[in-house]
Structures are given as structure tokens and as C-alpha cells.
Homo-oligomer: A and B are copies of this chain.
Amino acid sequence: MTEINLKDVNIPKATAKRLPLYLRTFLNLDMEGIDRIRSTQLSQIMQQPPITIRKDFSYFGSLGRKGYGYDVQYMIKVLEEILDVRETKKIAVVGCGNLGKALINNGFRRNENLEIVCAFDNNADVVGDKVGGIVVADMKRFKSVVRDKGVSVAISTVPSQFAQEAVDVIVDADITAILNFAPDRVRVPKNVHVQYIDLTTELLTLILLDEKLGS
């Protein structure tokens, strides 16, 4: 297999965002017993123009072959290498309301390397509760617990009005990757990455696509 060192490759953010989606697609194809796929079929499944897919893959060398398409097994190996999902990532959940509980209970089953190892809340009624095998800790203990457990990613389900406060605690514990379920932008140092899950925006987009663009 070609060695791919992403540290030397300058890929656009939009491409980076599609890579996990490519991986999922190839994993699904593999599950269905499909060995190879033509770029036009891949384009249909991914709902991406063929030129976008070719451009995305071009950052990692020549992955497909003309008239043959893509070898599913090979693509899985390459994308797993790029995404480096073979190393376990330890995750902290901040905020243990229904959403926090859903995340802890459901986990990230399809990727056994994404592991929620601790959970926090600042509500005394919730601290000490056991959710999916994890005892909810007081937010005051965040820094010491995540350092103990080697956490590198935090997921915040804290509502917008308290999100900045929660993110400040997370950043103070030297965590630089935060998935935030509150859509309002928070202030973080430049080396910290925040990914927002904005359900209202997703819903509005869906309605727009459905109503305005038709079928």
C-alpha cells in the first residue's frame, strides 16, 4: 500500500469533511459484498459530482483505475490510514441531559475506536448518576478526570447560554477537539477545533431542499 502521510498533504477542509463519508460508503459496499465500484456509481451513491470525488481522491495519489473503478477493500485501507481510526480516541461528554445520555448509551458503535470514557454535569441532581456504565462526575473535576483518562476529544451538549463557560473549562484542560451541540459560535484559541452540530440549520436546509428545489 502506498504510504500516505497527511502531515505533508494540504487538503481543503471541504475534502477533509467528506473523507469519513467516503469511508462509510466503502464500508457499506463491503458489507453488501461489493468488491469494486465504478466512479459513476460511486458518484450516485455519494450524491457528489464525479469531478468532486476525483479531485478529493487526487490529494492522495492515484486511487482509481480507468475502466475499472475503485477497489473497495483497497479504498477502505487507504481511507482508514488517512483517518487513522485504528487508534482509540477517548471522549468526554459534557452535559448529561437527554442528549448527553443518548450519546453515552448509543456510543459510536460503528467505530469501536471512538470511546466515551467519562461524563460531566454541574447539576447536583445528575452528578453521581450512572449512565451506560459511566458515573457522571462534577464538572469541577473535569480537568483532573480527563487528564487521568487520557481524553483527547470533548462533546458538549450544554445549552447555548452556558456553552462558552463549558468550552472554557474544556480548553483549560488542553483539549483541542470539541464537538458542540449548541450552534452559537464560541470563542476558542486558534489551536482548538470546534465542530458544530446545528439541528435547526439541518432542518431548515432539509425544508428548503424539499420545498423550494422540488424533486
Residues of chain B within 8 A (CB-CB) of A55 are: none
Instruction: Given contact pairs A28-B185, A103-B199, enumerate 18 new A-B contacts (beta carbons under 8 Å).
Output: A7-B212, A11-B213, A16-B209, A19-B204, A19-B205, A20-B198, A20-B208, A28-B184, A83-B208, A91-B203, A98-B105, A102-B102, A108-B203, A111-B204, A114-B203, A153-B210, A177-B209, A191-B214
Instruction: List A residues at the B interface (Cβ < 8 Å).
Output: 6-7, 11, 13, 16-17, 19-21, 23-24, 28, 45, 47, 82-85, 89, 91, 97-99, 101-103, 105-106, 108, 110-111, 114, 153, 155, 176-179, 183-185, 190-191, 193, 195, 197-215
Residues of chain B within 8 A (CB-CB) of A205 are: 16-17, 19-20, 195
A89→B79 CA distance, assembly (Å): 39
Determine if B193 and A179 form an interchain contact, defined as CB atoms under 8 angstroms apart: no
Task: Kindly report how many copies of this chain are found in the complex they form together.
Answer: 2
**Selected contact of A211 from candidates B84, B91, B108, B209, CB within 8 Å:** B84
A89→B203 CA distance, assembly (Å): 10
Known: A98-B101, A209-B16, A211-B84. A24 touches B201 (CB 8 A): yes
Residues of chain B within 8 A (CB-CB) of A214 are: 191
Determine if B89 and A207 form an interchain contact, defined as CB atoms under 8 angstroms apart: yes
Known: A16-B205, A210-B177, A212-B7. A24 touches B198 (CB 8 A): yes
CB distance from A194 to the nearest CB of B (A): 8
A45→B202 CA distance, assembly (Å): 19
CB distance from A208 to the nearest CB of B (A): 5
Residues of chain B within 8 A (CB-CB) of A97 are: 102, 105
Determine if A207 and B28 form an interchain contact, defined as CB atoms under 8 angstroms apart: no
CB distance from A158 to the nearest CB of B (A): 12
Closest to A106 in B: B99
Known: A24-B198, A98-B105, A191-B215. A179 touches B208 (CB 8 A): no
A213→B198 CA distance, assembly (Å): 23
